Each structure stands twice: as C-alpha cells, then as structure tokens.
C-alpha cells in the first residue's frame, strides 16, 4: 500500500475540516442562507428536463446503496489479492465519512430546500451524496493508485465527478449549496484521515518487522 504523505494529508484534512466547521458555524448561518437562497432561485429558473434527467442519474449512481456495492466489491477484490491493509484503508475511508454524516445531520437538523424534484427523508446538512463522492475520489487517490499511476487527467476527472454530483443535489433542490460544500469538505477530510491512519500503521508495522530482523 502507498502510504500517504503525512504533511500533505494533514494539510488537506485540516483545511477541509476548517471549511466544514465554517459551514456549520452558527453565526455564519444567516449569511450562508442568504447566498443559498439566491442559488436556489437561480436553479429553479434554470430547470431543464435534460439536466434534471442527468441529475437524477447521478442521484442513483452516487447513492448510498450503489456506493455500498462499490465499497464491498473493491474491498473484496483487494482482500482476495492479499492487499489487506489497502482493503482496510478503503473500507474505513468509505464508511466512516458516511457514519459521521448521519451524526452531523441529526446534530444540525437543517431543513431541506422547498420544491424538491425528488423525495428525501433525512436532514439537509451536510449532503450525503457529496460526502460519498468526495470520499470515493480521495480513497482512490490515496489507497488505490500508486504515485506513478496518478495523472492530471485522473485528478481532473475525479474532481469533475465530485463537482457534478454535488451540483446535481443543488439542481434537484434537495440540498442548499452550503450543504454540498460542507459534504465535499467532510468526505475529503475524513477519508484522508482514515488513509493517513492506516498509512502510519503500515509504516510502523514495516519498521517493527525491520527491527526484528
């Protein structure tokens, strides 16, 4: 397993957590809501059948059920190949952000925007789809790909996917813009921290093995 750089991982996770805290900060809620309202009004005016269809497709592709299948499939493949540390890192990076998201939703209890185009039953903040999308790309970068395999095109594709999923939630009017921004920050931060923790375990395990020889 390619252990992530501690300095880079720490910096990314700290920045993402700071941004998430800002989105959840009570004094900032009024200002954020005013901006969210403007974006909501623009989205309503920009509704088009083709774009709604694409957003609904991303709703299915990026759903908890679909990503649970992907998580299990990739973790099983890694375990079968003997990459057990990678399997653990992948699973933690995908599962822990979603569990934290459930906690944050119930702590924050933010109502969803009016006039949604699809049905959702949970609270609005943060966006679960955005959390999962960000965690997925972060886990792929830190856990699956090696440094030699990482190319700008893959990074751009990953960022585009996260942005598309996040914006689709706003377009479907089931989340405010600040919900998806906070969701992306949470997904990046928690998935990075999970990869970092497992990476440190790999280093320590390797150091311990070397010292015994």
The string of pLDDT tens digits covering residues 37-69 is 999 999 999 999 999 999 999 999 999 999 999
How many residues are given for the chain? 213
In a domain, 19, yes or no: yes
In a domain, 208, yes or no: no
Tell me the C-alpha distance between 165 and 136, whole Å: 12
In a domain, 33, yes or no: yes
Q: Quick: pLDDT tens for 19-34.
A: 888 878 877 887 889 9
Q: Tell me, what CATH number does 167's domain have?
A: 1.20.144
In a domain, 32, yes or no: yes
Q: What is the pLDDT of residue 5?
A: 56
Q: Quick: pLDDT tens for 125-171.
A: 999 999 999 999 999 888 887 666 667 787 889 999 999 999 999 99
Helices H, strands E: what count in the chain?
Answer: 8, 0
Cα–Cα distance list, 116 to 76, 113, 120, 166, 176 (Å): 37, 7, 8, 15, 11
Q: How many domains does the chain have?
A: 1
In a domain, 112, yes or no: yes
In a domain, 209, yes or no: no
Tell me the pLDDT band of 72, cut-offs 50, 70 and 90.
very high
Domain assignment of residue 50, given as a range:
6-202
Return the axis-axis angle of helices 152-171 and 49-61, rounded to nearest 10°.
110
Token pair, residue 101, equals 């998201």
In a domain, 118, yes or no: yes
In a domain, 211, yes or no: no
Tell me the C-alpha distance between 171 and 27, whole Å: 26
């Amino acid at each position: 397993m390619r252990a992530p750089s501690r300095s880079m991982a720490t910096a990314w996770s700290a920045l993402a957590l700071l941004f998430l805290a800002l989105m959840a900060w009570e004094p900032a809620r009024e200002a954020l809501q005013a901006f969210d309202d403007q974006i909501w009004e623009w989205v309503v005016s920009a509704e088009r059948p083709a774009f709604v269809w694409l957003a609904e497709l991303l709703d299915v592709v990026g759903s908890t059920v679909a990503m649970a299948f992907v998580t299990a499939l990739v973790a099983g493949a890694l375990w079968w190949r003997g990459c057990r540390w990678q399997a653990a890192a992948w699973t933690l990076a995908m599962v822990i952000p979603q569990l934290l998201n459930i906690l944050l939703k119930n702590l924050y209890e933010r109502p969803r925007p009016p006039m949604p185009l699809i049905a959702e039953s949970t609270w609005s903040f943060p966006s679960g789809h955005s959390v999962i999308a960000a965690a997925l790309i972060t886990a792929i970068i830190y856990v699956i790909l090696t440094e030699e395999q990482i190319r700008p095109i893959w990074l751009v594709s990953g960022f585009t996917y996260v942005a598309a999923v996040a914006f689709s939630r706003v377009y479907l009017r089931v989340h405010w813009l600040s919900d998806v921004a906070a969701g992306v920050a949470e997904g990046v931060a928690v998935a990075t921290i999970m990869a970092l923790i497992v990476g440190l375990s790999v280093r320590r395990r390797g150091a311990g093995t070397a010292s015994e020889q």
